[in-house]
């Protein structure tokens, strides 16, 4: 079974440029998460979707970050404009809905490693 797919795997851009990351979750997983992982730190949640609805975006810097999951399947995370401090690994994860079952493990994709110069 295919896992969470992310692209691109690596991205190098200059500051002030826009960048977008794409994620395709595991088939059947209604819940999708975007996390950011800085070097030497654990992942931090940016946004969580239940189907196409963003149910937790409290950690998303809305001045420059945006996300969408229009059809409730794949998702895009965008940064515009990028800043030096945005350099990090952006991880997408998916699971069954939070409240529906006890075993709704979050499965992570390989991440997109962003470098802003």
Instruction: Report the interface residues with other proteins, using CB under 8 A.
Output: 31, 40-45, 48, 56, 91, 95-99, 101-106, 108-111
Among 24, 83, 34, 78, smallest CA distance to 59 is for 34
| Nearest to other proteins of 50, 81 (CB atom) | 50
Give me the numbers of helices (H) and strands (E) for the chain, helices first please: 0, 11
| Nearest to other proteins of 45, 81 (CB atom) | 45
Beta strands (DSSP E) in 1-117 are 5-7, 10-13, 19-24, 31-37, 44-50, 53-56, 65-68, 75-79, 88-95, 107-108, 112-116
| Nearest to other proteins of 81, 96 (CB atom) | 96
| Nearest to other proteins of 25, 43 (CB atom) | 43
CA dist 100 and 31 (Å) reads 11
Least Å distance, CB 8 to other proteins, is: 15
Cβ proximity of 59 and 115 under 8 Å: no
């Amino acid at each position: 079974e295919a896992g969470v797919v992310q692209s691109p795997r690596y991205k190098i851009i200059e500051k002030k440029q826009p960048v977008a990351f794409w994620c395709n979750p595991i088939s059947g997983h209604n819940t999708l998460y975007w996390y950011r992982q800085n070097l030497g730190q654990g992942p931090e949640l940016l946004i969580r979707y239940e189907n196409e609805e963003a149910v937790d975006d409290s950690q998303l810097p809305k001045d420059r970050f945006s996300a969408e999951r229009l059809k409730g399947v794949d998702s895009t995370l965008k940064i515009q404009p990028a800043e030096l401090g945005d350099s990090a690994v952006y991880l997408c994860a998916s699971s069954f809905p939070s409240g529906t079952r006890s075993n709704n493990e979050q499965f992570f994709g390989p991440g997109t490693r962003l470098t802003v110069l």
